[in-house]
Structure 1
Amino acid sequence: MPLRVLLVDDVVEVRRLVRTSLRFRGGFEVVGEAADGPEAVRLASRLRPDVVVLDLDLPEIAGADLLSQVRAAAPEAKIVMPEEGGLGRLVELIESLEEDDEDDTTAAVIDLPHELSSVSRAREFVRERSAEWGIDEPLDDALLVVSELAANALTHAGSSYRVRLSATAEALRIEVDDDGAGTPEPQPLSETDEHGRGLYLVSALASSWGMGAAEGGGKRVWAELALPAPRAAGRAE
């Protein structure tokens, strides 16, 4: 069965580009399109898509409110939020959400406890695996992203969590599964409110990020960081 996709973006040219790319790739069905927040929530509830490609900067409902409402309307859907410059890999990213990657040799997993000290263990895990795989850039960004995702699991889910790291020729992917049912809420940086700062930084650093249900229950929050072109060229040879 094709993956059922809901496209949410107020720029019609962006929706047309993604829709056309998915059609040519095959294996996808665009079941709906929305140009504003209320329509996105309505279609998510009625269509129950497998994947929602979501622009958070929409009229009427935007940002954390939109993300929470879309997830409540379609709780089983995987939500993808491409950042600026992330559109080129979007089709492959959507496809990868449903692939079985148990045989992916460039992947590693660590289970961590509900302890503040586990955040440093998560960073060390990413540092060590990246060194094994020959990834030295963007290591600083990857360490910041895994720190923020781990802290999010500790603070908002209040549970132990699992970190999964994987790499392709184009991107380094960081996933964090926890037992929480809430929706992460990225907020603009401010001098008075620290809530949501971590996910705001994740969205700024990542080429794409998103969330969905974890395999064993709870939620999964993930982010992808683009790898430099020389690495991509080397892996492709």
Structure 2
Amino acid sequence: MSIRVLLVDDVADVRRLVRVALRFRGGFDVIGEARAGQEAVELAAALRPDIVLLDLGLPDLAGRDVLTRIRAVAPDARVVVFTGADPEDRAYIETHTDGYVLKDAELDYLVGLLEDLGRTSAHTASAEFDADVRTVPEVRDWVRHTLERWGVTAEPDEALLVATELAANAVLHAGTSYQVRLSAAPGLLRIEGADDGAGTPEPQPFSSTAESGRGVVLVSALATSWGIETEGGPGKVTWAELSL
């Protein structure tokens, strides 16, 4: 999964220079470019980037204003300032961002910082579903749309199958409403099914006639790792991790 970056700078040559450097390093996807503060806020809200590379000297909004607005519309994004001059409120800016780089620094340093931040960030999402077998297709649709929005294209069929099995297990065996959770970082996708039912699923021996019991076997075969955890109360979380 690529690290999705929004470039914000009113100088086209600077944006082009950074874009080329990120493309040369690999593992990045520049999903948008903004020349002004309001445009940056709108793109951050619509695109939900992993990282916003932000110049403070924009023509329409002060540095602190655009930073505050981006944080409000894209709270999960990492924000790195890349600016040409120190503002008077640098201490505030540094406290509220994930990195501060002056434009006279080596470009390799900037790209390395973005790479480190991108590798430690993760997308997360969750959704609640009723204890009804008709919700299982809804889970598949939700997982598919979420992964598409995140730009996760590797192994989508395996992810959908694992999510389906975890949802079906919750409906058939727990008999309670359940939650499906996703988290994705570069190289790894984690899928969780949380319910309030008693007992834990166990892999069953192969049988050509059994109508159930094969779901956990499929999950264990597809996943890099999987397991079952309790959350200190009734119920459990069944999770599986897939390599991307």
TM-score, structure 1 length as denominator?
0.50
CA–CA separation in structure 2 for the residues paired with 1:124 and 1:217:
28
Does the 8 Å contact 1:177/1:214 carry over to 2? no
CA–CA separation in structure 1 for the residues paired with 2:240 and 2:176:
20
Does the 8 Å contact 1:159/1:180 carry over to 2? yes
Matched residue, 2:169: 152
Matched residue, 2:218: 201
Matched residue, 2:229: 212
- The aligned amino acid for 1:169 is P
Choose the corresponding residue for 2:126, options 100, 104, 109: 109
**Are residues 1:130 and 2:147 paired?**
yes
Deviation at 1:137, TM superposition (A): 1.6
Within 5 Å, give how 1:88-103 maps onto structure 2.
none
Matched residue, 2:202: 185
Does the 8 Å contact 2:122/2:184 carry over to 1? no
- The aligned amino acid for 2:134 is S
Deviation at 1:186, TM superposition (A): 1.0
CA–CA separation in structure 2 for the residues paired with 1:105 and 1:191:
40
Deviations 1:149-172 (A, max 9, x none): 000001110111000001011211
CA–CA separation in structure 2 for the residues paired with 1:173 and 1:131:
15
Matched residue, 1:23: none
Choose the corresponding residue for 2:184, options 167, 172, 175: 167
Deviation at 1:105, TM superposition (A): 5.5
CA–CA separation in structure 2 for the residues paired with 1:215 and 1:163:
18
Q: What is the number of equivalent residue pairs in this alignment? A: 125
User: Which protein, 1 or 2, shows the higher relative CO under an 8 Å CA cutoff with sep ≥ 6?
Assistant: 1
CA–CA separation in structure 1 for the residues paired with 2:130 and 2:149:
24
- The aligned amino acid for 1:128 is H
- The aligned amino acid for 1:199 is V
For the structure 1 residues 125 and 196, does the alpha-carbon distance in structure 2 shift closer, same or farther, using more than 3 Å as the test? Answer: same
Deviation at 1:116, TM superposition (A): 1.2
For the structure 1 residues 214 and 122, does the alpha-carbon distance in structure 2 shift closer, same or farther, using more than 3 Å as the test? Answer: farther
- Structure 1 gaps, min length 5: 1-103, 228-237
Deviation at 1:187, TM superposition (A): 1.6
Deviation at 1:136, TM superposition (A): 1.4
For the structure 1 residues 118 and 215, does the alpha-carbon distance in structure 2 shift closer, same or farther, using more than 3 Å as the test? Answer: farther
Deviations 1:165-223 (A, max 9, x none): 01011211000100112010112332112332011000000000001113663100000
Matched residue, 2:6: none
- The aligned amino acid for 2:195 is D
SS of the residue 1:166 aligns to: strand
Matched residue, 2:41: none
SS of the residue 2:190 aligns to: strand
